[in-house]
Amino acid sequence: MKIRLPALLLAALLLLCACTGAEAVPAAGGAPTAAQPSPAVTAELPEDIPGELLETLNKRLNNQTFACAMYYIDLTTGLTISYNADRQFAAASLIKAPYLMYILDMIAAGELSLDDVHTYRRAYHYIGGTGQIRYMEDGTQLTLRQIIEYIVYDSDNVAFKMLNNGYDGVLSIPAFHDMAMRDYDAPYYSGTYGNVLTASGVGRMFAEIYARAERGDELYVWFVDMLKDANENKFVKGGLPTDENGECLYEVAHKYGMDIKSSNDAAIVFYNDRPYVLVLLTDYLLINTQGFMNRVSADVFAIHEYICDSSRWQN
């Protein structure tokens, strides 16, 4: 069923023009959109949502010197708010979480096993960047379970390449791209730009990760538990409220990605009984982007909190 947006929100969202800055990948449209939930769900923003919440987010997204994208979905109602959500950005390591969905599906189908043994071959698998496997001896054997854990916990680039390379890998990036496009309308590969992604595509796949874990799929329960302990959990999570000891009040299952021209994060925020997904992408790599993502996360949290319980905002 189509979301009915109040005039205030629609006006605010229409002001969200494309951010400026050098482009890693050509824009695929910059107009912000409000997507539709599944047909069985009715979703709309409160008519009395404070304009200041929308205006703050509007300014935050619109006043950057770099390109950015955002995708938010309330996992209970399906309400979606997005900005530049279909524009392609450099993927960096954020691609690893959606990719692993298909590895888990292959395990569930019996095509792979967590006990399968893979051998680290430096000549075929070595790559710089994050991770520990590149420091291991050539010929080191690892189970698929260990490789997945290295990918999630450490964002290990060698572990990822061990699965997607053309020599002895199990799923190439182009093949993964084709499946993700088929199932989620989510691009992950460009013949011109290499590995890419969109906020909307990643958001839909993170929503599916949550849904499968909630249904009790043991592989996805394990996956979400690992994502809660994944490294560099400081972007979306860094914008959420904390207790007196500085600890975040909510669990966050996430995957980040950083490359030469990208700082990305995608997260499931376990807000009480109303979790949501937030995906943030930029084409910029400096400390500024962490602060930017923290602030956008705080803005979105305030909107989500109001949607869930407007009494918190009443005097």
Could you read off the pLDDT of 90-109 as tens digits, one per residue?
A: 999 999 999 999 999 999 99
| 77 and 210 belong to one structural domain | yes
Instruction: Give the total number of structural domains in the chain.
Output: 2
Residue 283 lies in a domain: no
Residue 195 lies in a domain: yes
| 248 and 119 belong to one structural domain | no
Residue 104 lies in a domain: no
Question: How many angstroms from the chain centroid is the CA of residue 272?
Answer: 20
| 76 and 34 belong to one structural domain | yes
| 154 and 13 belong to one structural domain | no
Residue 281 lies in a domain: no
pLDDT 10s digits, 32-54: 444 433 222 235 778 888 889 98
The domain containing residue 198 runs over which residues? 7-94+180-267+292-313
pLDDT of residue 20: 33
Residues of the chain with pLDDT > 70, as a percent, come to 85
pLDDT of residue 26: 42
Strand partners of residue 248 = 242
| 29 and 152 belong to one structural domain | no
Q: Contact at 8 Å (CB) between 163 and 112?
A: no
| 68 and 160 belong to one structural domain | no
| 185 and 306 belong to one structural domain | yes
| 146 and 223 belong to one structural domain | no
Residue 107 lies in a domain: no
At 183, the amino acid letter reads D
